[in-house]
Structure 1
Amino acid sequence: MPAQSAPSGPGDKLDRDVLRVASVVVLGAIMAILDTTVVNVALQKLTLEFSTSFDTIQWVATGYMLALATVIPVTGWASDRFGTKRLYLLAIGTFLVGSMLAGLAWNVESLIIFRVLQGLGGGMLMPAGMTILTRAAGPQRIGRVMSVLGVPMLLGPICGPILGGWLVDAVSWRWIFYINVPIGVLAFLLALRLLPKDDPEPSGRFDFVGMLMVSPGLAALIFGVSRIPSTGTVGAVEVWLPALAGLVLLVAFVLRALRVAHPLIDLKLFRNRSFSVAMITMSVFCVGFFGAMLLLPTYFTLVRGESALHAGLLLAPQGLGAMLAMPITGRLADKIAARRIVLPGLGLIVLGMVVFTQVGATTSYGLLLSSLFVMGLGMGATMMPITSAALQTLRPKDMAKASTATNIVQQTAGAIGSAIMSIILAALLAAKFGVSTSQGQLAATAATLNPATHTAAATLTADSFATTFLWATVLLALCLIPAFFLPKKRFVPEADADSAAQVAVPMH
């Protein structure tokens, strides 16, 4: 597929056409990412509404996540085969229909089915949107467009619990799905009008065998990992069996993809050193950071007794820090080497996390909120510059497949990180309260709610959180190692260099 034309010159600003495309892509991203986090705070309400068990209602979240993992691998091929604009419109339409039906759900089974439909649309939105945006901007402005796309990715986990808590408490659980309808309709109409038309270019026969390996493989792996917090152990059959089956399928896919002509995911991308190093850095980062971020609201609700709404509001400084940093680092990512941005960003995140490794039951909110702000600044200088480093040196025709691979890495590593941090916390709580691992958080909740045991229980629980945050901090510190091998030079696209190949330019 031909790349959209973009003015040459690394210093060029984002023009009106690119900003229009960005507005459409950001709307779609907001819709998909908000929905993931909004639903999490409503699970307890849905359990009561449908008179079901928490294990069953978890499938409202798990079904969405598995559908996401299943459809993401197909989007790279589908972008080339049908065109990114058509695929993006299909993704928004599918998500919109799924949202409306989920809001109309009459029992838990229908809600789970409609959430899966939502996930099929949501899984296509981010990689297709990223492909459209990077092609429209051109490689010389990837840093800036990634900073634009990164705003909803950062604000979703923060604004989602706030919006979800308010809708569930003040309106109705159905509105956590209906809220997508006006956003989705607007995004669909804007996409129809503003997205540039592209001509499909079939990239060989569709790799059905590869799809039957990688999509179920990812779904099985993420499902097995997602069951760790509820079972409390990796030894449970429902954890290791699907996870092992998923790993076997993924390994088989890799071995086959290295031999066939047109694999579902082009592993030749990893021959590009910048792309490979960026993906390794992204994997380690997502495991440590998103695992820790999952636990922050729980600390505020379990240890400090805050409501879900207040816990979401307390995370706002992180979003503010990220919003301040991202426009600056986005411009810098197009002018200087990624390593010079990512390493200081990781340093800020580790610095902020150190405070949480010492967190207690009465730690000053001022100190915690300041640390979250510093972590937000670091986040704004980390995730999107890493993505920019991965994409800047690739050819325009590789963008769809690269966006797919990037989203797979983020989803898988994020799920693994959440499970790892949850099981560490559950094991620590179980040891503190003398119960089985699966009962650790329940025991801590009961003890902190009891006035007679509240003070002692809050201290023990806070200590468990501090140790868990220490593990996350160690992982984030280890992320500095692959980040050190990110490009030391900025790659100038051929349009800038007036040459047939990309040229590395040292930045002093």
Structure 2
Amino acid sequence: MTVLDSTLVNVAISALGEDFTTSLSTIQWVVTGYTLALSMAIPLTGWSARRFGTRTMWLVSLGLFIGGSLLCGLAWSVPSLIVFRVLQGLGGGMLMPIGQTMLVREAGADRMGRAMSIVSVPAMLAPVLGPLLGGVIVDHLSWRWMFYVNIPFCAVALLAAVRMLPRDTERDTGARLDLLGILLLSPGLAALVYGLSEAGNGTSMTGARFLGSAIAGVVLVVAFIVHAIRKGEGALIDVRRLSTRAFTSATGGFFLYSAAMFGLMILIPLFARIVRDESALDAGWLLAPLGVGAMITMLVSGRLVDRFGGRWMAATGVVIVLAGTLVLTSLDLTTPRTVIIGAMFAVGIGHGMIAPSLIAMSYQGLPPTAIPTATTGVNIMVRVGSSFGTAMAAVILQIAIRDEIPGSSGGLNEAATQPPALLTSAFTETFWWTAALLLAALIPVLFFPRRRHALRKGPTTL
């Protein structure tokens, strides 16, 4: 539900604007506030898990998410809705990495691939199902049900956690929060994600908001890395522990792959809506084969990773996704819908091989005490990579539309009134850039060390 909420509200922006009688630029903060809160909460995961225990922080985070969801449904104004979305995001931002940390600790080296397959299923299906579920709710119910729908699912999870999760027996009550680290990293990530989202929303790459946010984000993140290297073990994220070839190559590949995948996931619905003039629901259904394909391979890829290692599994998956993307580079007005569905199914087949492999590979060779730090690092790379990919796809498409249609601003509303043949060329050009990102992702994956290092299993100390 936390991942689903990242995309669920997107389709209700216009309905929210009409209900609260406010501008699009204002109501957009309902989405942006949640995304920024997610990004700022992730760095706190490692420290909070050490200090208070994973079970405790899971319950607290889930409680924040449920409370935020309820308050969002009851919101009486735009400012109240934005504030409650931030509260919801703060809880949701820690849920995935904390849950992932618990799974990794319990799975051990022999079951790492299978555990990561479980983690990857909701992360894969939520972006696909979000627009579909959001469309159904907006069309047939009040927008408030987009938030109420979280409550029963998360309430069951909360009750199950209280009853089933083992109590925290190992806490480092002396663990101090790296205040300078949090003041550098959390705002830095938020600034980066905000700048990239501005570019993805159509802002020029030379615009003040994009440049200011992106530069500030890069400066703060670099300053944090310098600070963390100097501080060492007491840093918010001990980056020295992550300076292994396995972690660097796995997370580097994940960053580039996430960028390509999320770029692809915004281009397909846009192509269907703008070029083929299909309904929002029909456009959303084009992403469904991706989820189906991923589910098929995720059922077996985790076990294969545990047995043979993830290097060639991930590389094969990237090649399959690349093959599906290359089919999309030749789309035109006469391309049958079945061809697009087949290409997205192939992309899903490849994705189901890649995601569990790369997550499992990122933990190899790390001691158990580094698990929270590694989990935080993986989630940060995925968050920034997905934002980068969305922004890159949107900006390249905007530039391609301007090149194809002289005098055009490249805006999507204006593009919808232009000849579909010209727009098709702009989309296929952008698909080629996505294919280039996939090729780039293959490089760090192939550099992953041949020898498979085991994650030590047994009593762990956070």
TM-score (norm 1): 0.87
After superposition, residues 360-371 of structure 1 pair within 5 angstroms as 360-371=332-343
Match among 81, 86, 97 for residue 111 of structure 1: 81
- AA in 1 matched with 2:41: V
Q: Post-superposition shift, 1:435?
A: 4.0
After superposition, residues 64-75 of structure 1 pair within 5 angstroms as 64-75=34-45
After superposition, residues 87-236 of structure 1 pair within 5 angstroms as 87-199=57-169, 200-202=171-173, 204-236=175-207
Moved more, 185-194 or 221-230: 221-230
Moved more, 299-308 or 275-284: 299-308
Seen in structure 2, the aligned counterparts of structure 1 residues 444 and 403 have a Cα distance that, compared at 3 Å, is: same
Runs of 4+ in 1 over 3 A off after TM superposition: 229-232, 433-437, 492-496
Q: Secondary structure at the match of 1:196?
A: coil
Match of 1:460 in 2: 422
Contact 2:184 2:220 in 1 (8 A): yes
Q: d(CA) in 2 for partners of 1:381 and 1:231? A: 33
Seen in structure 2, the aligned counterparts of structure 1 residues 189 and 477 have a Cα distance that, compared at 3 Å, is: same
Seen in structure 2, the aligned counterparts of structure 1 residues 203 and 343 have a Cα distance that, compared at 3 Å, is: farther
Match among 338, 341, 344 for residue 313 of structure 2: 341
Match of 2:445 in 1: 483
Output one character per residue of 1:386-444: Cα deviation in whole Å (capped at 9) or x when no partner.
0100113222221111111110010011101111110111111233333454x521211
Seen in structure 2, the aligned counterparts of structure 1 residues 435 and 123 have a Cα distance that, compared at 3 Å, is: farther
Q: Secondary structure at the match of 1:479?
A: helix
After superposition, residues 217-366 of structure 1 pair within 5 angstroms as 217-261=188-232, 262-366=234-338
Contact 2:117 2:301 in 1 (8 A): yes
Output one character per residue of 1:55-89: Cα deviation in whole Å (capped at 9) or x when no partner.
11211111111001111001111011100001011
Q: d(CA) in 2 for partners of 1:159 and 1:153? A: 11
- AA in 1 matched with 2:140: A
Contact 2:132 2:285 in 1 (8 A): yes
- AA in 2 matched with 1:443: E
Q: d(CA) in 2 for partners of 1:185 and 1:140? A: 32
Moved more, 79-88 or 461-470: 461-470
Seen in structure 2, the aligned counterparts of structure 1 residues 493 and 212 have a Cα distance that, compared at 3 Å, is: closer
Instruction: State yes or no: 1:474 paired with 2:436.
Output: yes
Q: Post-superposition shift, 1:446?
A: 3.3
Contact 2:202 2:411 in 1 (8 A): no
- AA in 1 matched with 2:275: V
Output one character per residue of 1:363-408: Cα deviation in whole Å (capped at 9) or x when no partner.
1111111111111000001122001001132222211111111100
Contact 2:117 2:355 in 1 (8 A): no
Q: d(CA) in 2 for partners of 1:374 and 1:133? A: 29
Q: Post-superposition shift, 1:203?
A: 6.4
Output one character per residue of 1:149-189: Cα deviation in whole Å (capped at 9) or x when no partner.
11111111111111111000011111111100111111111
Contact 2:66 2:155 in 1 (8 A): yes
Instruction: State yes or no: 1:417 paired with 2:379.
Output: no
After superposition, residues 488-507 of structure 1 pair within 5 angstroms as 488-494=450-456
Output one character per residue of 1:85-132: Cα deviation in whole Å (capped at 9) or x when no partner.
010111111011111111111222211111111110110111101001
Contact 2:50 2:175 in 1 (8 A): no
Contact 2:254 2:382 in 1 (8 A): yes
Q: Secondary structure at the match of 2:453?
A: strand
Q: d(CA) in 1 for partners of 2:406 and 2:146? A: 38
Q: d(CA) in 2 for partners of 1:140 and 1:58? A: 44
Output one character per residue of 1:323-368: Cα deviation in whole Å (capped at 9) or x when no partner.
0001211001111121110111001000000011111223111111
Seen in structure 2, the aligned counterparts of structure 1 residues 43 and 435 have a Cα distance that, compared at 3 Å, is: farther
Residue segments in structure 1 that go unaligned for 5+ positions in a row: 1-30, 448-456, 497-508
Contact 2:393 2:434 in 1 (8 A): yes
Contact 1:162 1:310 in 2 (8 A): no
Contact 1:290 1:414 in 2 (8 A): yes
Q: d(CA) in 2 for partners of 1:492 and 1:320? A: 31
Q: d(CA) in 2 for partners of 1:206 and 1:361? A: 56
Aligned residues: 456
- AA in 2 matched with 1:481: I
- AA in 1 matched with 2:385: A
Q: d(CA) in 2 for partners of 1:362 and 1:47? A: 36
Match of 2:53 in 1: 83
Seen in structure 2, the aligned counterparts of structure 1 residues 412 and 495 have a Cα distance that, compared at 3 Å, is: closer
Contact 1:80 1:201 in 2 (8 A): yes
Q: d(CA) in 1 for partners of 2:101 and 2:388? A: 25
After superposition, residues 50-65 of structure 1 pair within 5 angstroms as 50-65=20-35
Q: Secondary structure at the match of 1:101?
A: helix
TM-score (norm 2): 0.96
Q: Post-superposition shift, 1:477?
A: 1.3
- AA in 1 matched with 2:348: G
Root-mean-square deviation over aligned CA pairs? 1.5
Seen in structure 2, the aligned counterparts of structure 1 residues 409 and 494 have a Cα distance that, compared at 3 Å, is: closer
Q: d(CA) in 1 for partners of 2:416 and 2:159? A: 46
- AA in 2 matched with 1:136: E
